[in-house]
Amino acid sequence: GRIRRSQVCLGVFGVGEKSFRVIPNKVYQALACDKPVVTMRGGAYPDMPENGAGGIYWSKAGNPQDLAFQLELAVDDHNNTLSSQGKARLLYDTYFSNSIIRKRLEQMLPP
């Protein structure tokens, strides 16, 4: 589909309260498909590698100039190196896979 055909996928960039509390499903999907993502960093994200290191580029919420800059970085990284292949999927496997989410939920919820 569209994610597989893309070079880079976009997350959310809003300044609304909900934007800071969620990880959109499209971020999970893009990372699972090994596509780099440009999105804002909200409180729902786990501690993860810094900008670009793992296939995710953090944009400042509500800042179109920073969004453009991060998008340019992501596209340049994608176009200029084969070393980016596999990074987004590794990030998904490490932080967002079904088994990882299941373990986190089991830790948070009573038996």
Query: Rounded to 5 degrees, what angle do the CA atoms 25, 5, 26 make?
Result: 5
Distance CA 71, CA 34 (A): 16
The mean pLDDT value of the chain amounts to 89
Q: Given a cut of 90, is residue 10 above it in pLDDT? A: yes
Instruction: Spell out the domain ranges in the chain.
Output: 2-108
Band of pLDDT at residue 80, cut at 50, 70 and 90: confident
Alpha-carbon dihedral sign for residues 14, 54, 72, 32: negative
Residue 41: name the closest of 65, 24, 64 by CA: 24
Single-letter residue type at 16:
G
User: Using the 8-state DSSP alphabet, how is residue 39 labeled?
Assistant: E
Band of pLDDT at residue 82, cut at 50, 70 and 90: low
CB 85 within 8 A of CB 36: no
Provide the whole-model pTM: 0.86
Distance CA 7, CA 89 (A): 14
Q: What is the mean pLDDT of residues 17-46?
A: 93
- pLDDT number for residue 81: 67
